[in-house]
């Protein structure tokens, strides 16, 4: 009988996913669901064949260099792999996989929630109710912005961007997009393509960021690009915090250049989020829950395990990124 592979699971996973791991492998679970220090991670990885990780781990080149020789693969429970130094993994012949396709709908739902929540001052209104400060109604009370019929600019028209566009069409929004390449007409579905973000921004009442986190997209939304947006525009981000220059966005929200922002991801999350976001009334903030549905988290786990099964069987995993 072949010996079961030892899998270090760095965070607590959905029960159905852990049950399958327990059936087919020798897992080392993190039942307390706490964030391991680097030293703890290295110690726990001793003798492990596979790491099953989340974006909360920071697998830099230094960390990967310290991994024991037994580690043959890093199976990511995420689409984004910006937390893994892929070049360092390749240099050590460590396979890296991710979980694309399965969180598209859930993340697009959150993009729409952010858009509506920011536009209609949902956080501010809920705080009034909870604090018992709602005393009356008037024609000028809690005036927000309408979403229906407005222009939505999307940066990054991949799976999630396209799914967000489809939902926005239900609000009769006009879809604009900037992408590394133009989509085929059947995928565009009437959306207007711009060959640069700068060319698109002046036409956006709403801006949704769905691009991957790369060195090229770091601080993509900076002061210069914010200045190109129409006054009173609204920004939403479900991508990664690094695509926004926090100081520039906070300044634009304070000045009134932007009406509001809806954010599900942040630089320095969760402990070192820019304090300006918490202090502003015109922010709608969520704790990185874009994929947080039962259906999606199970699907992410099963997709990760499909990749793990392929690696264990000696096949090329479907979602290999390094």
> 274 lies in a domain?
yes
Which pLDDT value is given to residue 3? 85
SS3 per-residue string spanning the chain: CCCCCEEEECCCCCHHHHHHHHHHCEEECCCCCCCCCHHHHHHHCCCCCEEEECCCCCECHHHHHHCCCCCCEEEECCCCCCCECHHHHHHCCCEEECCCCCCHHHHHHHHHHHHHHHHCCHHHHHHHHHCCCCCCCCCCCCCCCCCCCCEEEEECCCHHHHHHHHHHHCCCCEEEEECCCCCCHHHHCCCEEECCHHHHHHHCCEEEECCCCCCCCCCCECHHHHCCCCCCEEEEECCCHHHECHHHHHHHHHHCCEEEEEECCCCCCCCCCCHHHHHCCCEEECCCCCCCCHHHHHHHHHHHHHHHHHHHHCCCCCCECC
Residue 1 predicted with pLDDT over 60? no
Share the mean pLDDT of the chain. Answer: 97
pLDDT at site 34: 95
**Given the residues 18, 124, 188, 269, the one annotated as active site:** 269
Q: Give the CATH number of the domain where residue 219 resides.
A: 3.40.50.720
Q: Is the pLDDT of residue 30 over 50?
A: yes
288 is catalytic: yes
Share of residues in the chain with pLDDT > 90 (%): 99
> Could you tell me how many residues make up the chain?
322
pLDDT digits (tens, 9 = 90+) for 118-139: 999 999 999 999 999 999 999 9
Residue 320 within any structural domain of the chain = no
**Is 1 a domain residue?**
no
- Distance between CA 37 and CA 42 in Å, rounded? 9
Tell me, yes or no, if 269 is annotated catalytic: yes
Do 126 and 221 lie in a common domain? yes
Tens of pLDDT along 79-95?
A: 999 999 999 999 999 99
Over residues 199-219, mean pLDDT: 97
pLDDT in tens, 220-267: 999 999 999 999 999 999 999 999 999 999 999 999 999 999 999 999
Q: What is the pLDDT of residues 157-205, one digit of tens each?
A: 999 999 999 999 999 999 999 999 999 999 999 999 999 999 999 999 9
Same domain? 75 vs 145: no
Our answer to whether residue 240 is catalytic in this structure is yes
Cα–Cα distance for residue pair 321/97, rounded to 1 Å: 5
Q: Which domain holds residue 78?
A: 6-101+294-313
pLDDT number for residue 46: 98
Residue tagged active-site, from 210, 274, 288, 303: 288
Same domain as 18, residue 159? no
Edge-first strand order for the sheet with 283-285 is 192-194, 174-178, 151-155, 206-209, 233-237, 258-263, 283-285
Q: Is the same domain home to 27 and 122?
A: no
Please give the pLDDT value at position 320.
98
Q: Which position among 240, 274, 297, 303 bears the catalytic label?
A: 240
Q: Is there a single domain that holds both residue 164 and residue 235?
A: yes
Report yes or no on 318 lying in a domain.
Answer: no
Q: In terms of domains, do 192 and 70 share one?
A: no
Residues 188 and 299 in one domain: no
Q: State residue 60's pLDDT score.
A: 98
Report pLDDT for 2.
67
């Amino acid at each position: 009988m072949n010996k079961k592979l030892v899998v270090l699971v760095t965070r607590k996973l959905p029960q159905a996913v852990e049950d399958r791991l327990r059936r087919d492998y020798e897992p080392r679970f993190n039942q307390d669901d706490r964030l391991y220090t680097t030293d703890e991670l290295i110690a726990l990885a001793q003798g492990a064949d596979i790491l099953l990780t989340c974006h909360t781990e920071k697998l830099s080149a230094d960390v990967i260099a310290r991994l024991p020789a037994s580690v043959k693969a890093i199976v990511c429970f995420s689409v984004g792999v910006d937390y893994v130094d892929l070049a360092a993994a390749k240099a050590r012949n460590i396979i890296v996989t991710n979980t694309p396709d399965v969180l598209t709908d859930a993340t697009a739902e959150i993009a729409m929630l952010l858009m509506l929540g920011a536009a209609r001052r949902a956080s501010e209104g809920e705080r009034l109710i909870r604090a018992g400060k709602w005393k009356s109604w008037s024609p000028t009370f809690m005036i927000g912005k309408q979403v229906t019929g407005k222009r939505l600019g999307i940066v990054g028209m991949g799976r999630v961007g396209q799914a967000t566009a489809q939902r926005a069409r239900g609000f009769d929004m006009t879809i604009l997009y900037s992408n590394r390449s133009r989509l085929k007409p059947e995928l565009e579905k009437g959306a207007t393509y711009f060959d640069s973000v700068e060319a698109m921004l002046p036409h956006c009442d709403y801006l949704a960021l769905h691009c991957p986190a790369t060195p090229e997209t770091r601080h993509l939304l900076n002061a210069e690009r914010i200045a190109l947006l129409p006054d009173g525009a609204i920004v939403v981000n479900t991508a990664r915090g690094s695509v926004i220059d926090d100081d520039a966005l906070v300044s634009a929200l304070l000045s009134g250049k932007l009406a509001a922002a809806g954010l599900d991801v942040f630089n320095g999350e969760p402990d070192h989020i820019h304090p300006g976001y918490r202090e502003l009334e015109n922010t709608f903030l969520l704790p990185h829950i874009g994929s947080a549905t039962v259906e999606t988290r199970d699907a992410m786990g099963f997709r990760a395990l499909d990749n793990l099964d392929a690696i264990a069987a000696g096949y090329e995993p479907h979602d290999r990124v390094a």
